[in-house]
Structure 1
Amino acid sequence: MAKEAAVMLLALFLPLLVTAEAHLLQDQPTAAVGHAASAPTHLHFYFHDTVSGKSPTAVRVVSPPPTGSSSSSSPSPQPTFFGAVTVMDDPLTEGPEPGSAAVGRAQGLYMGSDQAKIGFLQAMNLVFTAGPHNGSTLALLGRNCPLDSVRELPVVGGTGKFRFARGYALLRTHWLDLRTGDATVEYDVYVMH
């Protein structure tokens, strides 16, 4: 009789135990798909944002609204670019020279989102087209104040070799033409994937 009760009890609780284990595995997606934590990857490259000339790589699609009347009869442009939206498909290269070896493209947009200083909300995919990360992407989203000496943007995701990516990018302006707005920016990206 005791043996039959034990078998009956086991038959009732075994499905509950299996169900509980299945729920635990669902809460750990990296374990479920076979991805183990890895050491951080450091990427270093240069971003070339060209808004002037015959072949710009960044195009303003929305201009900032005027700020009101200046001493002349026409309104003055917004000095912080608040409200401006620019779409980009900028080259990424190994070195600061535009002709150095290509590693990919920065595709996305930046919009003026600060009324007090030049500050952008930047949303972009770093699309790698050469080297060991060819075919993979990283997604960055964050605040970029280009006149600050160092800016930090979070890495919020990725594809390919960067699936489940998280990390950050440090941006430093290498060169900026204040007259045209063209710039070369050094990127140091630290990513866990």
Structure 2
Amino acid sequence: MAMGAFQNFFFFLLIISCYILTIVSEQEETGFVSSINPKLFKKKENFSHFRFYWQDIVGGNNATSIPIIPPLPKFNNDYSVFGLVRIFDNALTLGPKLSSKLLGRAQGFLASTSQTELDFLIVMNFALFEGKYNGSVITISGRDVAYNKTREMSIIGGSGVFRFAKGYAEANTISFDPITVNTIVEYNVFVSHQD
């Protein structure tokens, strides 16, 4: 009986030693990978709802959204601007008026990805200035079909308060000026994140 227990203990030590040697050799072999403390992932998860107004100013001296690649001439019509790429640094405000309190900036780009409709790939950071969120970022990416009443996009991450963020954002156009092409979009952002 004692001999069996000793053999089991010896076998257990052998398995643990092999496991430790494997980890050490992998770390030495790559030199850029190490384990993460699992306590980092056991923080309390918070669920928050933010409402922002995205102020897209396309023309004039104070433009916040500019084209960096024009649409292909063949597709530049009322239904599509295929190939267009715009970069933006738009105000995120508390209310729909541009004079409303500034909460942050939406910084990113959009690219027209459809030959038959106003359909954009949008990738942006909501860089926030307000309260405990100052310096934190929510990263959003997704499909934005301009003529749909509500468009849903994914939250793909974040930084600061929003590390390990996930969730979704809903975009609703509040106003669109066909002459200036300036647009105000209401964003409702539903995000889970760790504090």
Say whether the fold is shared (TM-score over 0.5): yes
Give me the CA root mean square deviation. Answer: 2.7
Q: CA deviation at 1:17?
A: 7.5
Q: TM-score, normalised by structure 2?
A: 0.82
Residues in 2 aligned to 1:120 and 1:65: alpha-carbon distance in whole angstroms: 15
SS of 1:161's equivalent in the other structure is helix
Residues in 2 aligned to 1:6 and 1:175: alpha-carbon distance in whole angstroms: 73
Cα deviation digits, residues 54-97 of structure 1 (max 9, x gap): 110000111111118xxxxxxxx343111011000000011111
* Stretches of structure 2 lacking an aligned partner (at least 5 in a row): 23-32
Q: Look up the match of 1:72.
A: none
Q: Look up the match of 1:11.
A: 13
Residues in 2 aligned to 1:78 and 1:29: alpha-carbon distance in whole angstroms: 52
Residues in 1 aligned to 2:191 and 2:36: alpha-carbon distance in whole angstroms: 18
Residues in 2 aligned to 1:30 and 1:90: alpha-carbon distance in whole angstroms: 38
Q: CA deviation at 1:30?
A: 8.4
Residue type at the aligned position of 2:192: M
Q: CA deviation at 1:9?
A: 3.4
Change over 3 Å in CA distance of 1:150–1:19 after alignment to 2? farther
Q: Look up the match of 2:53.
A: 46
Q: CA deviation at 1:19?
A: 8.6
SS of 2:10's equivalent in the other structure is helix
Q: CA deviation at 1:131?
A: 2.5
Residues in 1 aligned to 2:58 and 2:21: alpha-carbon distance in whole angstroms: 57
Q: Look up the match of 1:71.
A: none
Q: Look up the match of 2:168.
A: 168
Cα deviation digits, residues 97-120 of structure 1 (max 9, x gap): 101111100001001111111111
Q: Is the counterpart of residue 58 in structure 1 residue 60 in structure 2? A: no
Q: TM-score, normalised by structure 1?
A: 0.83
Change over 3 Å in CA distance of 1:33–1:39 after alignment to 2? closer
SS of 1:33's equivalent in the other structure is helix
Residues in 2 aligned to 1:191 and 1:126: alpha-carbon distance in whole angstroms: 12
Residues in 1 aligned to 2:38 and 2:77: alpha-carbon distance in whole angstroms: 50
Given that 1:64 and 1:78 are in contact with CA atoms closer than 8 Å, whether structure 2 keeps it comes out as no
SS of 2:73's equivalent in the other structure is coil
SS of 1:139's equivalent in the other structure is strand
* Stretches of structure 1 lacking an aligned partner (at least 5 in a row): 21-25, 69-76
SS of 2:74's equivalent in the other structure is coil
